[in-house]
Amino acid sequence: MDLIDGLRAFVATAQTGSFTAAAERLGISNRLTSKYVAELEAQLGARLLQRTTRRVGLTPAGERLLGRAPAWLDELEDLLGSVSEDARGFKGTLRVSAPLTYGESHVTGLLTRFAAPHPDLTIDLRLSDAYADLAAEGIDLAIRIGTLTDSSLRARRLGQICMIVAAAPGYIATHGAPDHPEDLLHHACIHDTNARRSNSLRWRFGPAGAPREVPITTRFMVNSARVACNLAAEGEGIVYCPDFVLGPDLAAGRLVRLLDAEETPSFDVNAVYLAGAVLPRKVRALIDFAAAAMRTG
């Protein structure tokens, strides 16, 4: 057994809590993952994991090793990568997490452009509106929108999105346009239940320091900003969605912006990664690439 393989298997098992999850992260079999850890324990002469039928836990020796091994492996990967990547480009797997709609509309294309000059690089893109556990799932980088509250993560701001109110020209011709946010109570509104504060049938207006929440009358509630946008474009009502979702329909004239004199919430788009670990060169390069791409639009 290679010592590096043993350490990687141990770290993945300790972070995910099971040999099965560790094997999935490493791309090897459950049996081989368990074998690598057992051989590492034999080589060190110390038990690192407490095994049960449902989960594995760390022994005191395992806790000490886990405290230093991830950073050492990151340093080693960065060192080895720096030797080969200048000539051949990045290689290995880069795991990225992103929100579903934003990932489909923005992140996928960005990753395609980033990966183009690196034929040996594999992109593992995981799209979900649920926050991924970066350590447990082996995520190198997450794209997140909104306020960050997890102190175990570091972030770099990439850009900003804002909320927009819009409706189809046909809807406006039939029902008129609201002059004030309070008029939304008398219109058919399409509510994105994935949005922040989605449990409240209210839309937020005004500056961040003194926002006001306006009640709405809903015609459709849907847990997809993209579907909400499509429904609005079909004339089903007024929508309140991020600019990156509505942008193409606004540009094509399928939707018209409403209440544009009113201030609406804006949210930062961040690249998020684990604190305390050495950031691999390919992850640093992706963050720089994403920041530059978002600055230029």
Q: Which two tokens stand for residue 48?
A: 């690192």
| pLDDT for the residue 85 | 53
> What contacts 24+ positions apart, CB below 8 Å, involve 22-29?
25/137, 25/138, 27/93
Contact 14, 59 (CB under 8 A): no
| pLDDT for the residue 197 | 54
Q: Which amino acid, 297?
A: G
Structural domains in the chain, CATH included, are 3-73 (1.10.10.10), 86-158+268-295 (3.40.190.10), 160-265 (3.40.190.10)
Quote the CA–CA distance of 237 and 143 in Å, as a whole number.
30
| pLDDT for the residue 262 | 92
Quote the CA–CA distance of 100 and 130 in Å, as a whole number.
9
Q: Please, which residues have CB within 8 angstroms of residue 185's CB and are 6 or more apart in sequence? A: 214, 215, 216, 217
Which residue ranges of the chain lie beneath pLDDT 50? none
Q: Which two tokens stand for residue 293?
A: 């791409």
Q: What is the 3-state secondary structure (H, E, C) of the chain?
A: CCHHHHHHHHHHHHHHCCHHHHHHHHCCCHHHHHHHHHHHHHHHCCCCEEECCCCEEECHHHHHHHHHHHHHHHHHHHHHHHHHHHHHCCCEEEEEEECHHHHHHHHHHHHHHHHCCCCCEEEEEEECCCCCCHHHHCCCEEEEECCCCCCCEEEEEEEEEEEEEEECHHHHHHHCCCCCHHHHHHCCEEEECCCCCCCCCEEEECCCCCCEEEECCEEEEECCHHHHHHHHHCCCCEEEEEHHHHHHHHHHCCCEEECCCCCCCEEEEEEEEECCCCCCHHHHHHHHHHHHHHHCC
Exposed / middle / buried, residue 155 (Cβ in 10 Å: 0-12, 13-18, 19+): middle
